[in-house]
Amino acid sequence: MTKTSGRESVAALTLGAMGVVYGDIGTSPLYTMKEIFSPATGITLDAAHLIGATSVIFWGLMLVVTLKYVLLILRADNRGEGGIMALTALAAKAAGKTPRRRVILLLAGVLGAALFYGDSVITPAISVLSAVEGLEVVTPVLKPYVLPVSIAVLISLFAMQRYGTGTVGKLFGPIIVLWFGVLAFTGLLHIIEQPAILAALNPLQAFAFLRSQGWHMFVAFGAIVLAFTGAEALYADMGHFGKRPIQFAWMGLVLPALTINYMGQGALLMRDPSALENPFYHLFPQSWLIPAVVLATLATVIASQAVISGAYSMTKQAMQLGLLPRMQVQHTSAKEAGQIYMPEVNWLLLVAVLLAVVGFGS
């Protein structure tokens, strides 16, 4: 392979990783800020708390996602594969011949895998519903159509999976690049109007916010952690794209866009607290709302892709460890061994997601 073709391959994988890996964490701005300041958390909506909460989100992205996942955990690959089961296999090997230690590590890995399967159900449900609910911001008349549209979108997404993550990634990649561009642009407009939000870059603001919450800090964290959902998917999807493309995509576009958008929402709420009804969609002028809802819906479909493809990888690894019965594994790429499709996992996930959507309704 020549250097030029090598660079083209990395660029293509980076674009694919953008479309598959980062959709989940990339759609967290749709609901995170709204949930942090919802009545259930009891956090006061004022400038100090807005700066503090935004600071916690920024430094969480730096420490939890950038340092922990992108720089450290991505180094722990098992023959090119990532995810909780790959990590479990490595840990069990490192434990040596001590049976008790191996059993404890194995149980921890199985618990983590169960949580990831739960995420694979919750993420498509909450992401698609939250985007389609933007129709209500356009006009309340469209509210009855939110659930049917969400169900149709989800069925279409799962039906596409048989074409493989490589094909899906190339299709979704340009859309998610546009999505992150829009996140950065709309956030920047509001930061310019209210530059005081830039104080959130100071880590002392994050410490002050958490300290002021006392024991209530755990309630606040329950909402703030929504900004980091999807971080585990970038490790689980490592076998699909490799370490470098995932790192390039995060550092080059995803992290800057997310930071600017969260700060933009904080700046908007500092100027107009009534925007808390839906701070993400209030970033847009009224005339942009319908295109914004369409783009957000596409982005949440892509968000679901990250955990779906991660579930395939994890199931395959669990089968290799003897933790699950044998299931059909279809390889969808001649170049990337980690790009697979598992029909049984796909349709079981779809049924679970639809039950969640219909059961909760919003």
pLDDT beyond 60 at 280? yes
Question: What integer pLDDT is reported at residue 242 of this predicted model?
Answer: 77
Q: Quick check: 2 pLDDT over 60?
A: no
Is residue 4 situated within a structural domain?
no
Q: How far from 69 is each of 43, 87, 245, 320, 339, CA to CA, in Å?
A: 29, 12, 14, 24, 21
CATH at 36 = 1.20.1740
Q: Is the pLDDT of residue 150 over 60?
A: yes
Q: What is the mean pLDDT of the chain?
A: 83
Q: What is the pTM for the complete model shown? A: 0.80
In a domain, 13, yes or no: no
pLDDT of residue 8: 53
Residue 30's pLDDT band, with cuts at 50, 70 and 90, is: confident
Q: Is residue 64 part of a domain?
A: yes
In this prediction, residue 4 carries a pLDDT of 45
Task: For residue 5, tell me if it sits in a domain.
Answer: no
Residues 266 and 53: beta-carbon distance below 8 Å = yes
Q: For residue 202, what are the CA distances in angstroms to 50, 57, 217, 255, 277?
A: 13, 12, 19, 17, 27
Q: Which two tokens stand for residue 7?
A: 């660079």
User: Does 7 fall in a domain?
Assistant: no
Structural domain includes residue 11:
no
- 161, part of any domain: yes
Each residue's pLDDT tens digit, 325-349:
888 877 766 555 557 778 888 899 9
Number of domains comprising the chain = 1
Mean per-residue pLDDT, 224-237: 80
pLDDT digits (tens, 9 = 90+) for 56-65: 999 999 999 9
How large is the C-alpha radius of gyration of the chain? 20
Predicted confidence band at 246 (pLDDT cuts at 50, 70, 90)?
A: confident
Domain range for 347? 18-360
pLDDT digit string, tens, across residues 96-142: 777 788 888 888 888 988 888 888 888 888 878 877 877 776 677 77
Q: DSSP class of residue 61?
A: I
Q: How many whole angstroms separate alpha carbon 51 and alpha carbon 48?
A: 5
Is the pLDDT reported for residue 3 higher than 60? no
For the stretch 69-80, pLDDT in tens is 888 888 877 777
189 vs 74, higher pLDDT: 189
> Would you state the pLDDT for residue 335?
58
Mean pLDDT of 178-187: 94
Residue 171 CA neighbour count, 13 Å, CB half? 13
Mean pLDDT of all residues in 180-202 = 95
- Main-chain phi, psi angles of 78, to 5 degrees: -110, 95
Average pLDDT over residues 187-206: 95
- Res 55: pLDDT: 96
Q: Is residue 9 part of a domain?
A: no
Q: What per-residue confidence (pLDDT) applies to 192?
A: 96
Q: Quickly list H helices, the chain.
A: 3-20, 23-26, 32-36, 47-60, 84-94, 99-132, 134-138, 146-160, 165-193, 203-213, 217-224, 231-236, 238-241, 243-249, 255-271, 289-320, 343-360
Give pLDDT, residue 1. 45
Note the pLDDT tens digit of each residue in 286-322: 888 888 888 888 887 777 776 787 788 788 878 887 8
Q: Give the pLDDT confidence score for residue 5 in this predicted structure.
A: 46
